[in-house]
Amino acid sequence: MIGDKKISQGMTMMIIAMLMLPGLDAIAKWLAGSISSGQVAFSRFLFQVIFMSPLLLRTSGPWLSPTLVLHALRGCFIAVATVLFFTGLSYLPIADAIAIFFIEPLIVTLLSVLFLKEHVGWRRLSAIMVGFIGALIIIRPTFANVGWPVLYPVGTAFCFAIYFLLTRKLVEKEDPIRLQFFAGVFGFLVMSVALFFGTTYEFDILTAVFPSSSEWALLGLLGIIATVGHLLVVLACQRAPVGVLAPFQYIEIIGATALGWIFFKDFPDPLTWLGISIIVGSGIFIFYRESQLSKATASALDTTRG
């Protein structure tokens, strides 16, 4: 029963994180006209390091560990994913960008079978495929009317899938606080170098300017949301398998749709609502399926003990 409780906690943390994280995207889109996506990503990691530093005092362990390379890779992939997605938001509504990004849970689940040797049953895999179909209903515009910006969230999906799997691998032995601190440090270093060269050679998405006081406040809020949201993802990964958590990323579309309507007047049409319903339904099915399996396992154990 302890294991069942941990899985439920992991799923709950994942749901909360997915409802929070669209706020990060809304702020990034709001700032897109005055601050480059590269600088927004840089600020996100800067504030993450600042916010995580006091918590780091509670942890222990060697800094130069064998997993430091994996920490660096994780920081690089989340940095690239962040820049790609924030750039995509300059061209696409939040809900559309996240919908395109939703090929990522399918990638994560399939890669978790190949590299982490996790078991994913046909019912769970079917639910993920159904959720992906729901995302496709939302994505329905083709390259003809969306154009090349559609590639930004696609690239984000691949980078974040690898980041997510690295998180799952590292969280087995690493403290979640240290995990997020290292991600912030390496993400900050990657973006510092990128902004230096981007500003020097006038590469639009990687140029730096000095933000106003209100822009600093928004960047700070963005940093808080990103830090708390991704820390919850790490804590969720500590409690439940990747294959269980992946479908719950679809819930992010709810917050994205609401914020897109409130701040940018991007209100989904009926087909988009259909897609959202399918996505949420697949996540609810996964939750129900896991609960049933947990109860069956617990009953079998009780019978054996009896």
pLDDT tens for 241-273 read: 776 787 787 788 888 888 998 999 887 778 777
Q: Which domain holds residue 111?
A: 2-305
Q: What is the pLDDT of residue 105?
A: 73
Write a three-state SS string for 96-153.
HHHHHHCCHHHHHHHHHHHHCCCCCCHHHHHHHHHHHHHHHHHHCCCHHHHCHHHHHH
| C-alpha to C-alpha distance for 101 and 121, rounded to whole angstroms | 24
Per residue in 186-223, pLDDT (tens digit) is: 999 999 999 999 999 989 999 999 999 999 999 999 99
Residue 234 CA to residue 193 CA, distance in Å, equals: 26
Average the pLDDT over 3-17 and give the result. 86
Residue scoring higher pLDDT (56 or 242)? 56
In whole angstroms, give the CA distance from residue 268 to residue 162. Answer: 30
The fraction of the chain above a pLDDT of 90, given in percent, is 36
Q: 17: part of which helix (H) or strand (E)?
A: helix 2-20
pLDDT of residue 176: 83
Instruction: Retrieve residue 229's tokens.
Output: 């949201």
Q: How far apart, in whole angstroms, are the C-alpha atoms of residue 115 and residue 70?
A: 15
Average pLDDT for the chain:
84
**CA separation for the pair 259, 282 (Å, rounded):** 22
Q: Please tell me the predicted confidence (pLDDT) of residue 207.
A: 94
Tokens 């179909």, residue located? 133
Residue-wise pLDDT tens digits, 118-134: 777 777 788 878 878 88
Higher pLDDT, 299 or 275: 275
Lowest-pLDDT choice from 20-29, 169-178, 187-196: 169-178
What is the band of 172 on the pLDDT scale with cuts at 50, 70, 90? confident
pLDDT over 70 at 50, yes or no: yes
Domain count, the chain: 1
pLDDT at 298: 55
- For 237-250, b/e burial (b = at least 16 CB within 10 A) is bbbbbbbbbbbbbb
For residue 257, what are its two tokens?
């749709």
Q: What percent of the chain is modeled with pLDDT above 70?
A: 88
